[in-house]
Chains A and B, each alone.
Chain A
Amino acid sequence: APVSTTTQAEIYLSQFGYLPASARNPANGGLLDASTWIKAVQDFQSFAGLNVTGELDDETMQLMSKPRCGVRDKVGYGTDSRSKR
């Protein structure tokens, strides 16, 4: 389904490694702090060659809706622990 809400964008960004799984801090009611969110959006925009605005604009959400490979763009957040078996 095309990405059209912030929640869907958050799922996308964490699925592909832009948001660490621990981004939501249980200590503050599971809220996501603004700087982490903005950086994640910027990282995706930069990697995808979009204008780096840090905002969830149409261009960004359209690209998030495009069919793609399921492997994370950023392997940095912890090792990819999926094992073969």
Chain B
Amino acid sequence: YALQGSRWRVKALTYKISKYPKRLKRSDVDTEVAKAFSVWSEFTDLTFTAKASGPVHIEIKFVESEHGDGDAFDGVGGTLAHAFFPVFGGDAHFDDAELWTVNSPRGTNLFQVAAHEFGHSLGLSHSDVRSALMAPFYRGYEPVFKLDTDDVLAIQALYGKKSTQSGNGLNPTSGGASPRTTTRPAFAPPRAPRDDMICKDPKIDALFNSAEGQTYALKGNKYYRLTENSVAEGYPKLISEGWPGLPGDIDAAFTYKNGKTYFFKGTKYWRYNGRQMDGDYPKEISEGFTGIPDHLDAAMVWGGNGKIYFYKGSKFWRFDPLKRPPVKSSYPKPISNWEGLPNSIDAALQYTNGYTYFFKGDKYYRFNDRTFAVDAADPPFPRPSGHWWFGCK
């Protein structure tokens, strides 16, 4: 998913339909619009109240061709509708040349397009996940509508989860695997105290999520599988047994969108498909990751844009495999851009709850992607990683 950059500061939003479509009953339009808003209020604390008149947050209009905002509609087909991001007012306009329909494979389904446009009104840009509601293309009438995981993560990144939800409250899976959204140790003290090596010295080498959704910490020649707030039974294990051919003392690691896990050490990197080396490795970092330095401190994939961030000393690099060159000339940039983070970190991870975590020595920092700063919380960050992540006394 992608966030445009603005969002509403209040969660109780109001809307009105100031111009109805020619070919639908007003009551039908009212119902479909309300349903479309509920797609987003189901997973957040946002509420939407219809008003007949007066100032509102989101104004909805069905109009044709040029209609006053300089972005004319184009008749049947092509552009179906557009909406403004919160910073530009949040209004949603629908091309009334289209044949808007309700619960019918004919014409264009109003509910689905409205739900998409209201995503823009709330601050979401287009997603490159084909199955997402926020993908730019109309996919035709879907009798059984389900919000994609990508959409839920997007809206919750902006407005947080619904506070009345039980468990992770995330059950929509269409296309994307349902992520394990658990509340990370900051809210739940450890259950099984540990007192082996990682508790004596919680400094780690690297941290990553596997393609199956497990989280692993690497330390020396050993690795630990992490549970919700501790280390799984039977760990640590030897890295050489976990990933045959992989040495210890790893600098950095991440699993990319292609499901492959990449390990970095010194000037070299290894690629694994699950637990099997995926080809002829190691290779030189300079070969496979042009523009990225050797002897890295940490690396992670950031869900917000799917790009890879590498950290070394006081600098970071952003790597986009789909671009040429993959690293823009504006990099490296100072880590101080990430407000509150120290230099020379040990590990970095975007966890499945959407927060990004940075580790240095025996401490960790929880980073808030919305404020783009270390989270303000009680107790404050940094916190001891042994207690919160590795179940140490």
Contact = CB atoms under 8 A, between A and B. Distances in A.
Interface stretch (B14-22, B77-85, B224-232, B378-386): B77-85
Contacts of A72: 126
A70 B138 CA distance: 11
A70 B322 CA distance: 24
Contact of A67 (B84, B91, B138): B138
B89 A73 contact: no
Nearest to B70: A82
Contact of A69 (B70, B117, B322): B117
A70 B70 CA distance: 12
B71 A70 contact: yes
Contacts of A16: 136
A46 to B, nearest CB: 5
B137 interface: yes
Contact of B126 (A46, A66, A73, A84): A73
A80 B71 CA distance: 11
A65 B296 CA distance: 45
Contacts, number: 80
A69 B130 contact: no
Contacts of B116: 69
Contacts of B71: 70, 82
Nearest to A3: B78
Contacts of A75: 4-5, 125
B88 A69 contact: no
Contacts of A85: 89
A67 B80 contact: yes
Contacts of B195: none
Given A52-B322, A82-B70, A84-B89, A66 B79 contact: no
Contact of A71 (B73, B120, B138): B120
A83 B31 CA distance: 28
B30 interface: no
B378 to A, nearest CB: 36
Interface of A: 1, 16, 46-49, 52, 63, 66-73, 75, 80, 82-85
18 contacts: A1-B77, A47-B128, A63-B137, A66-B138, A69-B120, A70-B73, A70-B82, A71-B83, A71-B125, A72-B126, A75-B4, A80-B85, A80-B88, A82-B71, A82-B88, A83-B88, A84-B69, A84-B91
